[in-house]
Amino acid sequence: MIEICSIGGYDEIGKNMTAIKIDNQVVIIDMGLYLPSYIEITEDEDIKQVPVKRLVEVGAIPDDSVISDWKKDVCAIIPTHAHLDHLGALPFISNKYDADILCTPYTRELILTICRDERLKLNNKIKPLSSNSKYKINLEDGSEGIEIEFIHTTHSTPQAVMVAIHSKYGTVLYCNDFKFDSFPVLGKKPNFKRLKELGEKGCVKVLISDSTGAENASKTPSESVARQMLKDLLLGINAEDKAILVTTFSSHIARLKSIIDYAKRIDRKVLMLGRSLAKYVHAAENVNLVDFSKDVKIVKYSNKVQNALKLIEKNKHKYLIIATGHQGESKAVLSKIARGDFKFKLEKDDSVIFSCSVIPNKINIEARDVLEKELKKRQVRIFKDIHVSGHASREDLRDLINMVKPNIIIPAHCEPDMKEAMKELAEECDVPKVLLMGDGERFKVE
């Protein structure tokens, strides 16, 4: 029998955690933070030592007590990609499970980097699996159990995967988060061939799908579109004698690659400032995805950031600065520059480029508003939304459904309106059953 527990990420965007029980084997997919609550108590997005009790109190980590009766049967923990809303709770709660962590090499490297930097102890063994690979987990008596398959997809961080759990009862396919990018800046395009094969076999009993973009009636543009937007901006603005600062998601290695490439084209040295940028970039370099360090100076800690900015103050027109703080986090580098905490003065007609979107929650919206007001006081040029989403829009979701032909769809990574939009789409695609689950609920697949 297949049973699913929607622990977190079914009433909100973030705090993702799902448990799938097949007979006596339980797989946990994702253990994420709810970043708005986490940032509210830490004032930035870096993982640090925070009491677990405090994180539970504010709703920053999933309440996994709802699967306490399954605890002894957990045989694998699978973070699908290297975003904190999918793996940020691992250092706080994975140790209670006697199970290996299965993930792609980049995701593994990021987990190890976080734990090493913050001196967090992780007891679980981490086994790296390549995308488009399979891994069998047999039962304790040695008989055949479930098979885990990683199916390569694209997202706004490298080596994201869809997870298929194959069993004698059929397949549960977990697709959270993804976009269908056929022209990626970094890495391969999604494995459409394998998704179609699953649909042709008719084996997908349950599809658990990212539904963030279900209301957006379009196809999500390729990351190559964001690269072209950056090219148009960085090669097109008149900023010869002015500072240029860019901020984006630290985990978006493809976006950082584009920024660095075009900085070279305008003959500017790149200075990368902030702890989270250093974490994600060094993790990517350690698994040979990129080699930014040969062209870029990466500065991690605040006192060294201060020194680096002081050194370039008189020649800032020769540099392009990539800084943390795209959501207006008060402790991030960009906010400190805007407030004047560092001895680096922003002047009229300097350029500040937001190669990101504002994550739509009250905390982020208010923080960005505060940051932009500070920047406007200095009469800088502000360029916003130089960005494309990492999430599938409605027509991408339609393509997924039509490819894999599930019997049941469970919308995930969504708020209530998005959940309803995904339900409507599934009904348009003649899916036999749509199940709207909330956090902490269970469902038995007949």
73 and 202 both lie in a single domain: yes
Residue 58 near residue 14, CB atoms below 8 Å: no
CATH number of the domain encompassing residue 309: 3.40.50.10710
Tokens encoding 254: 């493809």
| Whole-structure pTM value | 0.94
Return d(Cα 26, Cα 315) in angstroms, integer.
57
**Would 36 be classed as within a structural domain?**
yes
CATH number of the domain encompassing residue 19: 3.60.15.10
Classify 129 as helix, strand or coil.
coil
**Would 370 be classed as within a structural domain?**
yes
Alpha helices of 59-102 — where are they, by DSSP H? 84-87, 90-93
Residue 53, pLDDT score: 85
Residue 143, pLDDT score: 80
208 and 117 both lie in a single domain: yes
CA distances from 54 to 49, 68, 122, 291, 330 (A): 11, 20, 19, 38, 21
**Would 390 be classed as within a structural domain?**
no
What tens-digit pLDDT sequence spans the chain (446 residues)? 999 999 999 999 999 999 999 999 999 999 999 988 888 787 767 787 888 888 988 899 999 999 999 999 999 999 999 999 999 999 999 999 999 999 999 999 999 999 998 889 999 999 999 999 999 998 887 788 999 999 999 999 999 999 999 999 999 999 999 999 999 999 999 999 999 999 999 999 999 999 999 999 999 999 999 999 999 999 999 898 999 999 999 999 999 999 999 999 999 999 999 999 999 999 999 999 999 999 999 999 888 999 999 999 889 999 999 999 999 988 899 999 999 999 889 999 999 999 999 887 777 888 899 999 999 999 999 999 999 999 999 999 999 999 999 999 999 999 999 999 999 999 999 999 999 999 999 999 97
23 and 97 both lie in a single domain: yes
60 and 197 both lie in a single domain: yes
173 and 269 both lie in a single domain: no
Cβ burial of 333 (10 Å; 0-12, 13-18, 19+) is buried
**Would 389 be classed as within a structural domain?**
no
Range 142-151 contact pairs with CB under 8 angstroms and sequence separation of 24 or more = 145/22, 145/23, 145/25, 145/75, 146/22, 146/25, 146/27, 148/27, 148/76, 148/78, 148/102, 150/104, 151/190, 151/191, 151/194, 151/195
183 and 56 both lie in a single domain: yes
Tokens encoding 275: 């702890």
Picking from 383, 411, 433, the residue at the C-terminal end of a domain is 383
- Domain hosting residue 254, numbered range: 223-383
Cα-flanking dihedrals φ and ψ of residue 412, to 5°?
A: -140, 175
Residue 78, pLDDT score: 98
249 and 179 both lie in a single domain: no
272 and 201 both lie in a single domain: no
CA distances from 283 to 113, 116, 202, 315, 438 (A): 7, 12, 38, 30, 34
Buried/exposed 6-31: b ≥16 CB within 10 Å, e otherwise: bbbbbbbbbbbbbbbbbeebbbbbbb
**Would 248 be classed as within a structural domain?**
yes
192 and 234 both lie in a single domain: no
Picking from 383, 409, 426, the residue at the C-terminal end of a domain is 383
Residue 26, pLDDT score: 98
**Would 143 be classed as within a structural domain?**
yes
Picking from 349, 383, 417, the residue at the C-terminal end of a domain is 383
CA distances from 189 to 159, 185, 200 (A): 11, 10, 21
260 and 373 both lie in a single domain: yes
Torsion 377-378-379-384 (CA) sign: negative
Residue 139, pLDDT score: 82
66 and 172 both lie in a single domain: yes
**Would 54 be classed as within a structural domain?**
yes
Q: Where are the beta strands (DSSP E) in 351-430?
A: 351-355, 381-383, 408-412
Residue 297, pLDDT score: 96
351 and 275 both lie in a single domain: yes
Residue 290, pLDDT score: 97
> What total of structural domains would you count in the chain?
2
**Would 314 be classed as within a structural domain?**
yes
Residue 104, pLDDT score: 98
